[in-house]
Structure 1
Amino acid sequence: MSQQHHHSAHEHHHHADDSHGPDEGLSQILDLDAEILEASLSAVHADIAALIDGPVRRILDLGAGTGTGTFGLLHHFADAHAVAVDGSSDMLEHLRRQAEGLGLADRTTTVHADLDEGVPELDLVDLAWASGSLHHLADPDRTLAQVAAAIRPGGLLAVVELTGHPRFLADDAPGAAAEAKAHELLAVDRTVDMPAMGSDWGARLARAGLVVELDRPIVVDLAPPLPDVAGAYAFAILTRIRGAVVERLGADLDDLDDLDRLLDGGPSDVRHRSDLHVRTQRQLLIARRPASR
């Protein structure tokens, strides 16, 4: 998909532009995000399985990134083959390496495509998957209509959309004010860079001719003690947020210093703290292409 502004701290994969080379920080965030959300995503897979009409043999992952969504679905639907579409050749190369390591290379096909230029023409799929990708689109309604046409009658589209960035510190914890300030600045960017974020996705899916059969929040609220992956996840995301807002946050040196202490390797560094509290929320929608469409 088309290059978006750099301000997004953890926005997904597919928007990377090949001319900028690999984005190892974003790749790491996507892989860590899948670890943090493992239980929640397993529940999503169960929701899909409960609603699907017939076998799942062809899956389309729109904005596949490092392939965490692709691989989760392939593990759940053992007879399926997945087509992973992304606008970054670097992400797709990462995905192919991961597929080899997981023994899923023969069940995975990659397609390099910018979804703003159109959904690739493929055989009809039983299940389309879009996780954190729709809000990057220049014209989500146009693309969703094309996605709907790529799904077999009776098949499903599962959408997982961000409702905000993960938070890691309790309100009264050291550094929490700086984290909150950085998120405020990021939210301002979002209204410019990604105006579709926070859309009424149910209405957009309906306009595409799909029938929404499930619409629920995915709430992640992980209290301490947490595994080491939580610290690595917090460090990766806060590092990216800092890069996005540092020039404006620098106007208040106290906030900048407080944010830097969360990342400097010292006792306040999120990788070394025992008081991390991971909170994030997504929205899940599962919609069906009517059999009569």
Structure 2
Amino acid sequence: MVTILHASDVHFGPPYNEVAGEAFQAVARTVAPDLIVVSGDFTQRAKVGEFEAARAWLDRLPRAPLVVTPGNHDVPLYRVWERLFDPYRNYRTWISPELDSVTRIPGLVVVALNSTAPLRAIVQGRIDPAQVAFAARVFQDAAPADARIVVAHHHFAPAPDYEGDKAMPGAREVLDALSTAGVELILGGHLHRAYIGNSLDVHPGTDREHGIVIVQSGTTSSRRGRARERAKNSFNVIRLAEDHVEITHFMYFSDVGGFAPFSTHAFPRRKYGYFPRDPFQHPLLLWRRDEPAPQGARRGAHA
């Protein structure tokens, strides 16, 4: 069994909740994860001091492979010239030099895709076909039994409430292509409340499509939880067994002075021996079959 610790939207800066941030550190040590994922928004305004604090916080987490991806708050909003000409400077300096990355550990392959779009869709985000093609090539090289996981900050499906949050532009087409490539899980954040479900809940497919399990984390350590997680903090623990995946949603409770399990969700895994269809037959990727991988796209690969 592989254990993944999934946090998001820590927001160092004025919204940061130190009590929740320290409580998460305590739980992280007891979980002893095989992999840690933090799916973006390390800062509030992409300032150097905020990134320094985020880096120090990351360095205190248990020793395990770490998957990170930038969020829209990790890109300058009001420093327009920086957003135009060097939007990831502070992120690359303090969090990771890589934007799209590959992480491999026994039993799974994780592709992190940068969904921030500083010049086009800074809030809603975007993943372009070149990034999907990069992920598809990585997953084609994975062993049939490996779990294929994507991490991105922005959401592919709206939370099941009435807040009106729209998914990323083109989310359905990207989901279809990733499903064709055999992706089992997508981990993300951005919504500041958790959502755990299947892509088929919002984008119906054919009778041969399994869908993708979508795991959104709430804000792990800011004071800006939204909707049903207003003023709350949360994260997820994901356990991958041979035949199923179990996701436990943790929330912070003041009466217990820390995080505690709130709900548990279980989904069957795609069977061993399942071979994904050729993703480059998907209309989104058909003309990209013979393209080289995007420049620098294999940055951050871990053997």
TM-score, normalised relative to structure 1? 0.35
Higher helix share: 1
TM-score, normalised relative to structure 2? 0.34
Greater Cα radius of gyration, structure 1 or 2: 1
